[in-house]
Structure 1
């Protein structure tokens, strides 16, 4: 098994698992390797280093005497933020109904009480979204990557 650090042209980094280098090149050549955040298929390998687990080092005397409350929390890493966005996208997809290009029509029908209110997602033009907002119907544009809509292996 070959684990590669990969990146798209938009700066998103992610990990890919392949049977071999040839398998990676074959899948990449067929457009099967894509960024799970934005769906970009222009993927390149990134420099990586093996992780060596040599055990935890004992805390220094200074670190042991410092109260935990005074230690600032580190900022989340870029990878942690990307992973959180992907998890949130998948949860949103799992809890909403995709109505496709009928989004504006369905949102309007729910707002007018013609159909039961439910969580929906779909596509709307800028003009349709503006019209919904003018009618007092809340919409939130989101860019959801195709990779968020599928289970990754």
Structure 2
């Protein structure tokens, strides 16, 4: 896993983890990396300092327990999505496609999709966007 600091065209800064640098490039090219604040897909890597750790434990600082503006924005986004949309779990791709094709009434949904399912939805013009957080799995 690799951690990147990112920023969008509106100069919002956020962090994300990716399987590899190549995975980031592939997701970015497919329009699947979006700003955690405004949703823009015009995202690029921001300048980051390397994290080096000595042999001993890292010193504790007050900032480790403070909530950053990014964390607040992500928490607010999560709360809005979970409060206004239906969680459809692994059925996300089918549900999104059925709404797009007019087979079911439109509503706000979120869930999980395999990368190839998400890529196909995007290629077919189905309006979807990745969330900057992993949905909490809900049971019926």
Q: TM-score, normalised by structure 2?
A: 0.49
